[in-house]
A = this chain, B = another copy of it.
Amino acid sequence: VNLILIEADEVNEDGVATLTDVRADHARSVLRVTPGAVIRVGIVNGPMGTAEVLSVGPFRISTKSFRAAATPERPRVDLLLALPRPKVMRRLWAQLAALGVGRIILTNAGKVERDYFDTHLLQPEVYRPLLLEGLQQARDTRLPEISVHKQFRKLVEDELDRIEPWGRRIVTDPSATSTVRAALAGASHSDRVLLAVGPEGGWSDFERDLLAGHGFMEASAGDRVLATTTACVALLTLAHDALREDRER
């Protein structure tokens, strides 16, 4: 943990938050903070800065210095992901949040098993702590927005343009000749990037055509066939890297 995240409603009117859960344990036993120490703290979906430790038992911190702190920018990259099996999804939440993603759109597809949608991992009270874990690793406060869609066609045809303003859309395929970088060349700063990652068995021809018809360009992250977790990490990394260089140019 490289940042301790607190909820806005945990801060009282004096700017003091009292933490009693694993965050307090972590600060005491791993960070070994003592009263007077200054630690990195963020407010979920809010500013990130430093807070002063007032006491360690109970664990109380003052966020008075937060008046000057800035809220991190929302990551510009979003993910449209064919729902993987629960075991994979469990590990993915924190990794996606750590890499930085503005929105995660989970969808059905021909090669997604229907019962994957029954998992408790799609319930906010289960995935939210996993997302927070990733943010605390990466030092970010912006929780990705999550939506779950059981009908791929309805999602792409009727819902997507409303959920995700049209920006750059990429669907990945190891046989594509364009790189992610090339597909993002010249993206404007207000363009959001949406990366579509298919199920382990790949998109069907129908699904691929539907995506192509809704603005998704094919690109690849190399010619190797990657499992879902590795593919998501690789693609988010490449997209952020392309946007980063673009910003620095």
Provide the residues of chain B in CB contact with A221, threshold 8 Å: 237, 241
Q: Whose C-beta in chain B lies nearest to the C-beta of A1?
A: B225
**Chain A interface secondary structure, helix, strand, loop or mixed?**
helix
How long is the Cα–Cα vector from A216 to B119 in the complex, in angstroms?
Answer: 45
Least CB distance from A223 to B in Å reads 8
Least CB distance from A53 to B in Å reads 20
How long is the Cα–Cα vector from A180 to B222 in the complex, in angstroms?
Answer: 17
Provide the residues of chain B in CB contact with A179, threshold 8 Å: 241, 244-245
Chain A contact residue count (CB 8 A cutoff): 29
Provide the residues of chain B in CB contact with A95, threshold 8 Å: 227, 229-230
How long is the Cα–Cα vector from A222 to B245 in the complex, in angstroms?
Answer: 10
A140 at the interface (CB under 8 A from B): yes
CB < 8 Å neighbour of A224 from B98, B227, B230: B98
A240 at the interface (CB under 8 A from B): yes
How long is the Cα–Cα vector from A98 to B234 in the complex, in angstroms?
Answer: 12
A233 at the interface (CB under 8 A from B): yes
Asked if residues A224 and B181 are in contact (CB atoms below 8 Å), the reply is no
A103 at the interface (CB under 8 A from B): no
